Amino acid sequence: MAADQKSPVAPLLEVIDLKTHFPIRTGVFSRVSGHVYAVDGVSINLREGETLGLVGESGSGKSTLGKSIMRLVEPTSGEIKISGVAITGLNKRDMFVHRRQVQMVFQDPYSSLNPRIPVGKVVAEALHIHGIASGVAADEMVRELFRRVGLRAAQTRNYANEFSGGQRQRVGIARALALNPKLIIADEPVSALDVSVQAQVINLFMDLQQELGLSYLFIAHDLAVVAQVCHRIAVMYLGKIIEVANRDELFKAPQHPYTQALLASIPIPNPEIKPAADRVLQGDIPSPSDPPKGCRFHTRCPLAETRCRTEEPPFKEGSPGHWVACHLH
Partner 1 sequence: MDAMAAVLELKNLQTQFATRDGIVRAVDGVSYAVGQGETLGVVGESGCGKSVSSLSILRLIPDPPGKIVGGSVLFAGEDLTRVSEERIRAVRGNEISMIFQEPMTSLNPMMTIGKQISEPLTRHLGLSKKQAADRAQEMLALVQIPDTRKWLSGYPHEMSGGMRQRVMIAIALACDPKVLIADEPTTALDVTIQAQILQLIRELQEKMGTAVIMVTHDLGVIAEVADRVVVMYAGRKIEEASVKKLFARPRHPYTRGLMTAIPRLDKITNGDGLSKRLTEIPGVVPPLYDLPAGCAFADRCGYATDQCRIEKPVFEKKSPNHWAACWQELPG
Ligand X SMILES: Nc1ncnc2c1ncn2[C@@H]1O[C@H](COP(=O)(O)OP(=O)(O)OP(=O)(O)O)[C@@H](O)[C@H]1O
Q: Of partner 1, ligand X, Mg ion, none, which one sits near residue 288, judging by CB under 5 to 8 A according to partner kind?
A: ligand X
Residue 26 in contact with partner 1, rule: CB under 8 A? no
Q: Of ligand X, Mg ion, partner 1, none, which one sits near residue 38, judging by CB under 5 to 8 A according to partner kind?
A: ligand X
Residue 58 in contact with ligand X, rule: CB under 6 A? yes
Residue ranges in 273-312 that form contacts with partner 1 under rule CB under 8 A: 273, 275, 279-285
Residues 6+ apart with CB under 8 A from 253: 245, 322
Residue 199 in contact with partner 1, rule: CB under 8 A? yes
Segment near ligand X (CB under 6 A); pick from 60-68, 113-121, 258-266, 290-298:
60-68
Q: Give the type of residue at 15.
A: V
Q: Inter-axis angle of helices 195-212 and 165-177, to 10 degrees?
A: 20
Give the count of residues interacting with Mg ion (CB under 5 A): 1
Residue 227 in contact with partner 1, rule: CB under 8 A? yes
CB of 229 to ligand X, least distance (A): 17
Q: Give the type of residue at 224.
A: A
Helix spans in 60-182 (H) = 62-70, 92-101, 119-129, 135-148, 165-177
Q: Which is nearer to partner 1, 105 or 235 (CB)?
A: 235
What Cα–Cα distance (Å) separates residue 164 from each residue in 127, 160, 195, 197?
24, 9, 13, 10
String of DSSP letters for 213-265: --EEEEE-S-HHHHHHH-SEEEEEETTEEEEEEEHHHHHHS--SHHHHHHHHH
Residue 61 in contact with ligand X, rule: CB under 6 A? yes
Q: Give the type of residue at 114.
A: N
Q: Which of 189, 290, 279 is nearest to 239 (CA)?
A: 290
Q: Of ligand X, partner 1, Mg ion, none, which one sits near residue 22, judging by CB under 5 to 8 A according to partner kind?
A: ligand X
Residue 165 in contact with ligand X, rule: CB under 6 A? no
Q: Which is nearer to partner 1, 32 or 280 (CB)?
A: 280
C-alpha 46/C-alpha 12 separation (Å) is 6
Among 20, 51, 60, 63, binds Mg ion (CB under 5 A): 63
C-alpha 142/C-alpha 134 separation (Å) is 10
Residue 221 in contact with ligand X, rule: CB under 6 A? yes
* Mask for 35-54, x = binds ligand X (CB under 6 A): -x-x----------------
Element (H, E) at 211: helix 195-212
Geometric angle at alpha carbon 166, from 164 and 171, rounded to 5°: 90
CB of 258 to ligand X, least distance (A): 14
Q: Of partner 1, ligand X, Mg ion, none, which one sits near residue 16, judging by CB under 5 to 8 A according to partner kind?
A: none
Residue 200 in contact with partner 1, rule: CB under 8 A? yes
Residue ranges in 62-101 that form contacts with ligand X under rule CB under 6 A: 62-64
CB of 33 to partner 1, least distance (A): 16
CB of 278 to ligand X, least distance (A): 25
Neighbours of 283 (CB within 10 A): 8
CB of 17 to Mg ion, least distance (A): 21
What Cα–Cα distance (Å) separates residue 302 from each residue in 282, 308, 311?
8, 11, 17
C-alpha 232/C-alpha 329 separation (Å) is 20
Binding site for Mg ion (CB under 5 A): 63
Binding site for ligand X (CB under 6 A): 22, 36, 38, 56, 58-64, 221, 288
